Structure 1
Amino acid sequence: MLDFQKKKQLSILVKIAMVDEDFADAEKEVIRKISQKYGATTEELTEIFDSPATAESLAPMTLIDKMDFMMDCILVVIADDMVTSSEEYFARQMATRLGFNQDVVAFLIKNKDVSREEMRELMLPYLVS
């Protein structure tokens, strides 16, 4: 069962995937895997796929949660091996909302194979103070 924050986050991931008007199967699969990590039921994910929330605001998050969610956003952006300008723009806007410099998007795309734990350390310089 999803809490409000995780439901919002999954909705945002769906919106990122749909922003280029091509909700690819690879993007859906990445979101399915992320939703399992978040503890979503199949019914909850189907509901989000069918009707993602319209508001993109997020509740306060810990630094680790912000980093993890930013990495989840990038996983969706790169899922279909094609990063469109609209997906990159959306991800850059999300980076700003999460307190990162927008350059973190290109950095995460370029370093997509780095482990999550190592990436958290590498993301620190991209935090806006």
Structure 2
Amino acid sequence: MFGFFENEQTKKLKSHIVNLAALAKADGHIDEREMNFIVAVGQKNGMRAAEVRSLVGNTSSVKLVIPDNDSERFDQIFDLVDMMLADGVVDNHEMEFCIGMAEKLGFRRDIVAVLVRNISQGVKDGLPREQIKEQTQTLLGN
């Protein structure tokens, strides 16, 4: 699926998969539920499971590509937080990683911890992604 001439969307997807893998590894290993979550994100975006697993195994070859709009950046941090919660245990390394990734994705330093906590709480409460996104718009200044 991914050839020599990758488009921007493919680069963003691969970068997102790598970010998810890095978060999964933040506690020292990738748990089966975390890997299943990463594979599901890839499949939702047109990748085969084997491609996702291969990418996760070779993460050093992919550079971070920052989305160019708040909606895509929100979707990436949402997936990171959702995966952090996937194994039912949130350790400090995972939380710090999510906060750090939110900053790298271009969210303002003064709101990233609140953003991550709000997304986390929304996921725990079973709210749909779009509702959580709407609720966080005031934080993003939109």
| TM-score of the pair, normalised by structure 2 | 0.81
8 Å contact from structure 2 (residues 67, 73) kept in 1: no
Return the letter of the residue paired with 1:116. Answer: R
8 Å contact from structure 1 (residues 67, 123) kept in 2: no
Deviation at 1:55, TM superposition (A): 6.4
Cα gap change, 1:128 to 1:95, in 2 (>3 Å):
farther
Trace 1:78-117 onto structure 2 (pairs within 5 A). 78-98=85-105, 99-100=107-108, 101-102=111-112, 103-112=114-123, 113-117=126-130
In structure 1, C-alpha distance between the alignment counterparts of 2:58 and 2:68, rounded to whole Å: 24
Higher mean displacement: 3-12 or 101-110: 101-110
Q: Higher RCO, 1 or 2 (CA under 8 Å, sep at least 6)?
A: 1
Root-mean-square deviation (Å): 2.0
In structure 2, C-alpha distance between the alignment counterparts of 1:115 and 1:75, rounded to whole Å: 12
| TM-score of the pair, normalised by structure 1 | 0.89
In structure 1, C-alpha distance between the alignment counterparts of 2:57 and 2:41, rounded to whole Å: 17
1:121 aligns with 134
In structure 2, C-alpha distance between the alignment counterparts of 1:45 and 1:55, rounded to whole Å: 12
In structure 1, C-alpha distance between the alignment counterparts of 2:50 and 2:34, rounded to whole Å: 18
In structure 1, C-alpha distance between the alignment counterparts of 2:67 and 2:76, rounded to whole Å: 12
Larger Rg: 2
For structure 2, which runs of at least 5 residues remain unmatched after alignment?
3-9
Matched, 1:32 2:45: no
Higher mean displacement: 45-54 or 77-86: 45-54
Matched, 1:41 2:54: no
